[in-house]
Chain A
Amino acid sequence: MPEGAVRSVMPLLPILFPWISLLAIAIFRRRALRLRLWLCFAGSALSFLAVIVLLPSVLDGKTYYFKLASIVEGLEISLYVDTLGYYFSLVLAFMWMLCTLYSISYIDHKQNRYFAFLAMCGSFLIGAAYSRNMFTYFIFYEMMTFGSYPLIIHEETAMARRAGYKYLVYAIGGDVLLFFAIITNYFWGGGNVNFDQWGLPTLAAASKAALLTIFSSYIAGFGVKAAIMPLHGWVPDAHPAAPSPASALLSGVILKAGAFGIMRVIFNLFGIDLMKELGVHWVVAVFACITIVLASVFALTQDNLKRRLAYSSIGQVSYIILGLTMVSRDGTLGGIMQLAHHALMKACLFLCAGVILVRTGKKNISDMKGVGYQLPVSMICFSVCALAMVGTPPSVGFITKWMLGSGAMEAGLPVYVVVLLVSSLLNAAYFLPIIYVAFFRWEGDEEGHHHPALDFNSERDPLMMVPVVILALLVVVVGIWVTVPGFPLSLASRVADLVFP
């Protein structure tokens, strides 16, 4: 049992609540569609509630612990709520709730399969967030990985199948690497892969070659999920193929599961000091930089909106990795905050893309002339988030970039600031045209027609609009009142204080 932790079933509740959805699906099967779907939402909402009630005590520095099973000495399946895990679970439970709500009206066929797997993935992800050790994390992570396959190929088009195939290939490869990493870590770490401490003391005794093997396997294994180039191949295919709420989750949360794993590796298993001593963090950082720049360049060339967003996600997730490998307090803080901030922005963007797709049937940016007049609310939300992505204050995007930049200076590496600036420029270069096309072009504009009137009729569906608006508001609100307890900064700075005492 980790030191100072309270034994409690609280961590188990958010993992169990989503299973209400499965129960509902199993009971009703073909009847009461609406009720069934609302019960699914209730499951995810309860899960979020169960997470949020822990907030005050987590802010007080309490930790919770719950043992599910102990396989052998030192290898147990157990849950452990520390600040970092709680932070991730808070983000993902919230996202999950909103996306489930959105899905109710978005998904129009095979609801049972979709919602069952959606709920299962949510449950597994919270389990992963609350894992006490790498072994448990891997179990939940892997179940989540394969559980999200049906979400990706939900449309069952040829493109979706291809994307699903690619996803599986990458996922299996990554998981095998990860498995290898955990086993070698378990062996050289003296039978311990727990997250209780900030750096395994036993690991320091291992040989450098062993440490390098472990570290690189971990990074490569999680790197597949976190889409570090050149392991990003599945992302640009999976996002456009999946239904929009699923893309939002993929980008907002599932990609983060990889980044979160890397956090656990760097903070809890290796520890900042050992990683510094190993001296390979800069290699990872270089990969992250390359990813940040290249992904933005690729994004420029995409005409498919969701594909462009997917490339954008690849770049943005690498911000997290970059922040972690800067080895400075502010950089780490920025990386951790990016996890939540990017989730808010990108989920909103994808949900907007979903609204566009459903209401106008348009996928490509070049077709979206005047879409801002057809769907004003969504496009305004979209614009807010897009500007936030670019890094315009006051928004969450700005906070992240500021922190990362300050971290780079703190680490004495201004070159990272340059990378961030270049990336911001590129972000602007691929996001602003979308806004431009949506609001400043319309059918017949070249012939001198006046722009069409704003049309609110298409946006009557509250199930879809409420999540979009909430997310867009949060992007601004969190960006302004940064220090409110419970917002990312409060939790992230606690983690950063622990990592850099």
Chain B
Amino acid sequence: MSGAYRHFPILMVTIPFFGAALLPFLAYLRRKAVPWASAFFLAISGGLGTFLVGKIPPGGHLSYPLGGWEPPYGIELRVDFSGYFLMMAVAGISLAAVIYSRRYIEKEVEGGRITAYYVLFLLMSASMMGFVITGDVFNLFVMMEILSISSYALVAVTGNRNAVRAAFKYLLMGAPSSIMVLLGVGLLYSVTGTLNMADLAARVGDTGYREVLIASYAILVLAFMVKAAVFPLHLWLPDAHSIAPSPISAMLSGLVVAVSAFAVARITFSVFTVHAWGLVGTTLEALAVAGAAAVLFGGIMAIYQKDFKMMIAYSTISHMGYVVLGITALNPEGITGAVYHILDHGIAKACLFMCAGNFIYRKGFRKIEQLKGAWREMPWTCFAFSLAAWSIIGLPPSAGFISKWYLVYGSVRAGKVPYAVVLLVGSILAAVYCFRVVYYMFFQPAKEGDWGERLSEAPASMSVPTWALSLATLFFGVFSYLFLDSLLKAAAQLL
């Protein structure tokens, strides 16, 4: 069927939904099949995505009016290259995480909840894909809600008391921010009469209600800042991300906060386009300052953490600052850097959390101190960690280097050299907290009784995804030229 690929983006989003709906019944029939089925649905989703390679016009987008209603009347999916790119990132990382989950979750989550876990997992991944490609602000809200509810619950899925508390904290900050999104959408709607992003972009410029637009933008940005854990609103993140089961930490830290940051870009560039920046300048300035503060704060806090997963969580705060700074540079390079950073940070962070998960699975170790000499028993995990840390620091030839290059270049081009310096300081901080762990793993003698001499790697279904992700950081660094041109064009199109 020629042209069938048009339907693939929506199928990528809805097939996991469908799969999630089938899971309870499947679990009733045969519980063992549930993890495989979830992986299967995500694989289909990702597989469909690969057919879209080269189908998205450079600098343009695929528009898919749902139900055949032309855009301002129906809901439109707008798949531009950056959206597609992130969608594939979500598909890939989710697939790795869901395969990783099978053994890990068996151990941490009590049997009756495993089905619910996979249902939520599928919903979370699929809603993220919908979130990045939707062209309708209200639909954005709906997708964000599926995403949020599933992530609140997934944090608490172990039933451990700290986990429940962290989840509640997350919900307590997340729910008001969701409501704020709805309020912002309502304000936008009240002065434009439309919900479609492209239509909004056309009407925002010449509607007379300046104050309302400013307010709606500020509210939306504030709300997404909470979801993306940008500095002063990050309070929920360290607890939630460090206590959640590791594959979920990987998803939350690697993707969930990042796509929320991407939503800021969507709102800024697709709704309040260049023409309306007069309205939103102040908010953007404030956002940039918050981002810069986040880079430094997150990095410094990460250095002082004793808990391994806590350190990685704080590092996420720092890296969300990177993304925000890229977006607020307001030039194609900055946006490209931000999108690419979402990808490579997602991969690397997921990999780090999976490494942490491997240690917890085998040894129950959570403290950084306990990782001294770990490579004797778990060399592959340690190597994977080092590769991912390489990317987090932004050293060549990993993907982190490419995105750091574009982020810094974007800041310099925007004439914001102080932010460029902040980004570089951020990478120094990253080097400090990452190298400490790498140093402990490889170059420190193990403490008595912590690590023996016998090899005891995590099971293959956990090691393979970990390794796949760590190699992916290299792949996206070395072969970044395959994507960057299209990303730059897509970013230029946004401006």
Contact = CB atoms under 8 A, between A and B. Distances in A.
A183 B412 CA distance: 8
Contact of A172 (B420, B428, B481): B428
A179 B481 contact: no
A143 B397 contact: yes
A359 B424 CA distance: 46
A94 interface: no
B23 to A, nearest CB: 42
A71 B428 contact: no
Given A161-B443, A180-B420, A187-B413, A72 B397 contact: no
Contacts of A180: 408, 420-421, 424
Contacts, number: 54
B485 interface: yes
Contacts of A176: 424-425, 427-428
A216 interface: no
Contact of A139 (B397, B404, B409): B397
A187 B413 CA distance: 7
A303 B410 CA distance: 51
Interface string B376-400: 0000000000000000000111000
Q: Give the one of B396, B397, B401 with max A CB within 10 A.
A: B396
B325 to A, nearest CB: 14
B481 A69 contact: yes
A168 B435 CA distance: 9
Interface string A128-162: 00000000001100110010000001001000010
B288 to A, nearest CB: 18
A64 B369 CA distance: 50
Contact of A72 (B425, B428, B479, B481): B481
B494 interface: no
A71 B484 contact: yes
A437 to B, nearest CB: 35
A146 B412 contact: no
Given A139-B396, A143-B397, A146-B395, A179 B408 contact: yes
Interface string A168-202: 10001100100110011011000000000000000
A72 B488 CA distance: 9
B170 to A, nearest CB: 34
**Taking each of B413, B443, B488, which has the highest tally of chain A beta carbons within 10 Å of its own beta carbon?**
B443
B63 interface: no
A153 B479 contact: no
Interface string B479-495: 11100110010000000
Q: Which range contains the number of B residues in contact with the other chain?
A: 20 to 34
B173 interface: no
A153 B444 CA distance: 11
A186 B410 CA distance: 11
Interface in B449-495: 478-481, 484-485, 488
A71 B409 contact: no
B405 interface: yes
B395 A143 contact: yes
B395 A187 contact: no
A183 B435 contact: no
Contacts of A69: 478-481
A156 B404 CA distance: 33
B302 to A, nearest CB: 15
Interface residues of A, number: 23
Interface in B215-274: none
A494 B404 CA distance: 38
A164 B484 CA distance: 36
B420 A142 contact: no
A115 B420 CA distance: 37
Nearest to B415: A187
B402 interface: yes
A295 B384 CA distance: 41
A99 to B, nearest CB: 22
Nearest to B442: A150
Contacts of B427: 176
A72 B484 contact: yes
A416 B395 CA distance: 39
B431 interface: yes
B443 A153 contact: yes
A207 to B, nearest CB: 12
A70 interface: yes
A186 B411 CA distance: 13
Contacts of B412: 183-184, 187
Contacts of B424: 176, 179-180
B431 A172 contact: yes
B413 A138 contact: no
B408 A183 contact: yes
B409 A183 contact: yes
Interface string B410-439: 001100000011001101100100010000
Given A153-B443, A183-B420, A187-B413, A71 B395 contact: no
A142 B395 contact: yes
A153 B395 CA distance: 20
Between A70, A153, A172, A183, the greatest number of chain B beta carbons within 10 A of the residue's beta carbon is seen for A183
Interface of A: 69-72, 138-139, 142-143, 146, 153, 156, 161, 164, 168, 172-173, 176, 179-180, 183-184, 186-187
9 contacts: A71-B481, A138-B396, A139-B401, A156-B443, A172-B428, A172-B431, A179-B405, A183-B405, A187-B412
Closest 10 CB pairs of A and B: A139-B396, A71-B481, A176-B424, A69-B481, A172-B431, A187-B412, A183-B408, A183-B409, A142-B396, A183-B412
Interface of B: 395-397, 401-402, 404-405, 408-409, 412-413, 420-421, 424-425, 427-428, 431, 435, 443, 478-481, 484-485, 488
Given A172-B431, A179-B424, 4 more contacts: A71-B484, A72-B485, A153-B443, A183-B405
